[in-house]
Homo-oligomer: A and B are copies of this chain.
Amino acid sequence: MSELKKAVILLSGGLDSSTCAAIALSQGFELYGISFRYGQRHSIELEASKNIAKKMGFIRHEIVDIDLRAFGGSALTADIDVPKNRSEDEMDVEIPITYVPARNTIFLSFSLAYAETIGSKDIFIGVNAVDYSGYPDCRPDYIKSFQNMANLATKAGVEDSSALQIHTPLIDLTKAKIIQTGLALGVDYGLTISCYDPDAQGKSCGCCDSCALRLKGFKDAGSADPIEYVKK
């Protein structure tokens, strides 16, 4: 009997990372989730990540506490208003205000530690270069350079310099294509949350950049978004 390969999945509770997990599962990996409590203003996405991990049969799911607030500087962690009701042109700024300094680098570094600990050589991250072109750490060149570095950083890499792979199955997909892929793999998007600014009951606002992208994605995919919105 061949042993299943272990994959570390960065799980945010959002649509992309859930789809990413479904893809890893369809490729025959056992799923080991990692999520981060990083001073988000709401913890609803961590609840979502737990529900997703449970529903999708993750072997383990680690929630790691890290404090990015010490460094300030982003609408997702500091007391700055999340932009609302922006046009696509307005969203297409060079670096969005919701950018967190070095966030993906920190997340991937912890994922690397986790992978090394459990003996996994495969990390899945749902970054996307289409809708998040403004984030430097969502670009393919960045991911490739992280992988190079990771292979030099670890025991696994000392033994085999191409041992560790960072998988980015969504990197070139539109939001509509991501949703179609996930639906075909049976992802329950009703468990996911994308909103930057949900209300106290966890309902998505429907007008932040992330809600706008999600709603447009479902529309373009010809499907209905199963989650509830305050307004859409």
> In the complex the two chains form, is B142's CB within 8 Å of A117's CB?
no
Please name all residues of chain B whose beta carbon is closer than 8 Å to the beta carbon of A73 when the two chains form the complex: 116-117
Binds B, one of A19-27, A61-69, A191-199, A223-231: A61-69
Bound Cα distance A104, B113 (Å) = 10
> In the complex the two chains form, is B104's CB within 8 Å of A153's CB?
yes
A197 to chain B: closest CB distance in Å?
Answer: 23
A117 to chain B: closest CB distance in Å?
Answer: 4
Contact of A137 with B by CB under 8 A: yes
Work out how many copies of this chain go into the complex.
Answer: 2
* Chain A interface category by residue count: 35 or more
Bound Cα distance A155, B139 (Å) = 12
Bound Cα distance A148, B104 (Å) = 15
Bound Cα distance A217, B113 (Å) = 31
> In the complex the two chains form, is A105's CB within 8 Å of B64's CB?
no
